[in-house]
Amino acid sequence: MTETAAVLVPEAPTLPKLREAAAVCKACPLWEGTTQTVFGEGPAKARVIIVGEQPGDREDREGHPFVGPAGRELARGMEAAGLARDEVYITNTVKHFKYKARGKRRIHQKPDAAEIRACLPWLQAELEVVRPQALVCLGATAAQALLGRSFRVTRERGTLVESELAPIVSATIHPSAILRAPDERERQAEREAFAQDLRVVVEAMG
Ligand code: URA
């Protein structure tokens, strides 16, 4: 087991080179029991990078980020905010699905600090290659990995944050939180607030 993925990041990286190198990453134990590394996707010249937590069950099986239920909420929020899919690079903080097997089901588990640290060089390399105008962190895992452990999404969501990572940086809730809303009314309110947070970034980009 390597300390972090840093030694695997190719020199003069491009997105295809990064994807290829990350496909065989064993920098933390999460690769065991997963189908594949789920690397980021989108144009190398994307204006915006959106960073989630980690692939879920569907993403692990299909090999693409945000293709499951949370991905549907993300797509809905992006559309409402006027963010076209082809101007966004979508990725995750951790590139393997962490889960606990319960019978035939695979229950999502939060990645821990060591797993996040091990995987971070991939995300840093994606940011360096894409050099987006705007970075949006979805949920506490992405926000704390990129903006610091003291970042609180509940307090700072939808605000513009000072960071060297991109000219415009912001964080909002993870779209899976919308799915956990107790009833349809709250779900709609969460959806609207999520879209509004994304609109802040769209408007800042001009
Ligand atoms: N949740 C995430 O954070 N990322 C995905 O790719 C899917 C669900």
Quick one: which H or E segment has residue 173? none
Closest listed residue to residue 160, CA positions, set 205, 124, 93: 205
Cα 8 to ligand 1 centroid, rounded to whole Å: 23
Enter the tokens of residue 178.
């919308």
Q: Which atom of ligand 1 is nearest to the CA of 65?
A: 6
Residue 56 C-alpha to ligand 1 middle, in angstroms?
A: 6
- Beta carbons within 8 Å of 15's beta carbon, 6+ residues apart: 40, 44, 126, 129, 130
Q: Tell me, what CATH number does 182's domain have?
A: 3.40.470.10
Ligand 1 atom having least distance to the Cα of 142: 3
Q: How many structural domains comprise the chain?
A: 1
User: Within 13 Å, how many C-alpha atoms sit on residue 130's CB side?
Assistant: 32
Q: Which residues lie with the beta carbon below 6 Å from any ligand 1 atom?
A: 52-56, 59, 65-66, 68, 70-71, 92, 176
Nearest to 51 by CA among 152, 164, 165, 162: 165
CA of 188 to the centre of ligand 1 (A): 20
Per-residue model confidence as pLDDT tens for the chain (206 residues): 558 999 999 999 999 999 999 999 999 999 999 999 999 999 999 999 999 999 999 999 999 999 999 999 999 999 999 999 999 999 999 999 999 999 999 999 999 999 999 999 999 999 999 999 999 999 999 999 999 999 999 999 999 999 999 999 999 999 999 999 999 999 999 999 999 999 999 999 99
Q: What is the pTM of this model?
A: 0.97
Structural domain containing residue 13: 5-205
Distance CA 45, CA 119 (A): 23
Report whether 45 contacts 133 (CB < 8 A).
Answer: no
